Amino acid sequence: MKHTLKLPGFVLSLMILGCTQLYAQIGVMKFPEGKVQHVVLAEEIQWKPCPPNLPSGCEMAVLEGNPKGNDLFTVRFKVGGNFIMPPHTHPKDERVTILQGKAYVAFGKDATKEEAKAFGPGDYYVNARNAIHTVWADPETIIQITGIGPWEAHFIKE
């Protein structure tokens, strides 16, 4: 059996494979030299105030990545009081895990807490991109969000 090399296809394959090596893949962590694991221990988390564009009464901690960047990130939000995230959307899917407390999510511009789905510790859900939703959270609720950045919340104007 005679094998022939298809030169144009072979060169194109090399170019494609070579180009993919130049750019980091989304979700691939860049470990410092000599590191094999990224660890965040709960008792060592340093909570910081949420950005001013988010409702007051929340703190956040970035566990991995940069929510403002274009790659995989994981953040935690800790809320107190009667926290409400008014009707808003996100340009990308939002993956949420409730770690502590209770969060309520309802969809639509005029959604109410009475029609919201309740989520407790261990529950997980994904909000579809561009879906208008409101979030209410009981005091001492911790919510973890993982996604592909940049993470943005676009609030719905009345």
- What is residue 5's predicted lDDT score, i.e. its pLDDT? 53
Distance between CA atoms of 75 and 99, rounded to whole angstroms?
Answer: 12
| C-alpha closest to that of 70 among 20, 129, 25 | 25
Alpha-carbon torsion 54, 51, 75, 77, what sign?
negative
Question: Tokens representing 9?
Answer: 């296809």
Q: What is the DSSP letter of 98?
A: E
pTM for this entry: 0.80
* Residue 88 exposure: Cα atoms within 13 Å on the Cβ side: 18
The tens place of each residue's pLDDT in the chain, 158 residues long, gives 555 555 555 444 544 454 444 556 788 888 888 888 889 999 999 999 999 999 999 999 999 999 999 999 999 999 988 899 999 999 999 999 999 999 999 999 999 999 999 999 999 999 999 999 999 999 999 999 999 999 999 999 87
CA distances from 105 to 33, 86, 134 (A): 42, 11, 6
Domains observed in the chain: 42-155 (2.60.120.10)
Question: 3-state class of 86 per DSSP?
Answer: strand
